[in-house]
Chain A
Amino acid sequence: MSLSLEEVKRIAHLARIEISDAEAVQTQGQLNDIFCLIEGMRAVDTEGIEPMSHAQDLMLRLREDAVTESDQHRLFQSVAPQVEGGLYLVPKVIE
């Protein structure tokens, strides 16, 4: 698997990480090295093997439907970059 520069830029956009052309070239090289490492596993026959997502074969624990949280917005917003009127401010969202 070898990534083109276009693909590097596309993924960077998907991940919302700005990347200059120079950075893209360097990253492309490094990512392709990493993909060489990963390629090794693709050749292995895993026919009939179930994917494993967790160590234990458990089922989801469910929570009783009850309000357990109180209003802490002042505390939480004390670490926010920009807040006004209790709202988080961001550059205008264009529909």
Chain B
Amino acid sequence: MSAPLEELTARESVPLVPVRSQPAARAPIGRQLAIAMAILAGLLIPLRATSFVTFELTQVMIYALAILGLNLLIGFNGQFSLGHSAFYGIGAYTAAILMSRWEVPYYLTLPAAGGVCFAVGFLFGLPALRLQGLYLALATFALAIAMPQILKFHPFEDFTGGVQGLVIDKPDPPFGLPIDADQWLSYFTLAVLLVLLAGASRLIRSRTGRAIMAIRDNPIAAAAMGINTALYKTLTFGVSALYTGVAGALGAIVVQFVAPDSFNFLLSVSFLVGLVIGGVGSIPGCLFGGLFVLFVPNIAESISIGLAGAIYGVILLIVIFVMPSGAAGFVRLTLARLAALRRPRPNTQLNPKP
């Protein structure tokens, strides 16, 4: 009963996404237009829509940010994690504890959450270096399982509020701006998301980013070329945790409540689903992922409350069948096909008729 472990290792070296050529130095016009439109939507929707829709928009952005964190690790660095719910939870609790116990203003909790999660992620990345594939999956999974237990742990109850959780007050818009709290939080989240998206984009296009992706594509070759794989892998773990942790802090502020059992491994699973649906290895794909994770369960429920889970599963399967590389991959493929149609076909006849 020998192992196809070499099979596993061989597969591990096959990239999770098709290897892309060097990202263009300047984004093409279409892409810039799409980005502008997305930002415009983010600015206008809170002004025109109801509070509730604004709230949902904010949640989509928060999930997108969390998924982006996971993407940095899985999509760009080829590692694996089922434990990002733990980082999300750490970020959320950091914000909640700082705000409720020490009255720290909400915007300072974000860097704090990011810092704490970076440290935890980095430290976790160290032992993770030794593990591959499913073994790494188990280790991260252990983290996801441990988090609610630790949060509920009796001696920590004074800090964490134990099983009852912590309630946070909603922050008011600053400088007396004529918008309500929901709109302000939406813009705040949008700003944070844009900054972090830009950061991720620049990171990927930099030398560090190329090193990170090289490790994903062929770790042995990368090491042979002199890349300090251990350092980059642990750094990526840290940065990935940071992103998801900041998302968690935002989530706590927007929902105004944290409780231990919300941060269980099912949340990790939904991040993973959002990642794949959005497109592994695609930075803007995280927005699709966020939309999917928030809205599709609601859609499934509206079709049939008794079989909501089954319908969700079916929708998931359909999406995977139609878009195996996620939404971003689908968009890329469609654009490529459209471009191919427009391009003049090369003359393939050997003996063109005169």
Chains A and B belong together in one complex: no
Q: Chain B residues in contact with chain A, CB under 8 A?
A: none
**Could you tell me which A residues sit within 8 Å of B by CB distance?**
none
